[in-house]
């Protein structure tokens, strides 16, 4: 699995969680880039990502993520 594979899977998750098929994410995407991304949707998003990739984020990772690229790095690290 590489960064491009992960971003494709994450794009589908983002589209599903935010119910918007037009969402296209990249490594620099932040909550400011997606209109409905609030704290409640963030929890739903994290839960969906954890299920998809069969990982668990640590609380400090969840609160410290600045963008999708950081999420991808954590997913890659955990999937080794």
Q: What is the DSSP string of 47-76?
A: HHHHHHHT----HHHHHH--SHHHHHHHHH
Q: Is 68 exposed, middle or buried (0-12, 13-18, 19+ CB in 10 A)?
A: buried
- List the CATH number of the domain containing 70: 1.10.1200.10
The single residue listed with the structure tokens 């690290």 is 77
Range of the domain at 49: 3-78
| Residue 1 confidence (pLDDT) | 86
Q: How wide is the angle at C-alpha 70 spanned by C-alphas 36 and 1, nearest 5°?
A: 105
pLDDT by 10s per residue, the chain, length 80: 899 999 999 999 999 999 999 999 999 999 999 999 998 999 999 999 999 999 999 999 998 899 999 999 999 998 87
Q: What does the alpha-carbon distance between residue 23 and residue 33 come to, in Å, rounded to a whole number?
A: 10
| Residue 48 confidence (pLDDT) | 98
Q: What predicted TM-score, i.e. pTM, was given to this entire model?
A: 0.93
Structure tokens at 30: 């932040």
Q: What does the alpha-carbon distance between residue 13 and residue 9 come to, in Å, rounded to a whole number?
A: 6
How many domains, the chain? 1
């Amino acid at each position: 699995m590489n960064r491009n594979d992960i971003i494709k899977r994450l794009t589908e998750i983002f589209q599903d969680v935010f119910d918007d098929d037009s969402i296209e994410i990249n490594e620099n995407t932040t909550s400011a880039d997606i209109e409905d991304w609030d704290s409640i949707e963030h929890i739903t998003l994290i839960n969906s990502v954890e299920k998809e990739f069969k990982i668990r984020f640590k609380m400090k990772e969840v609160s410290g993520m600045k963008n999708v690229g950081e999420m991808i790095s954590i997913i890659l690290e955990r999937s080794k």
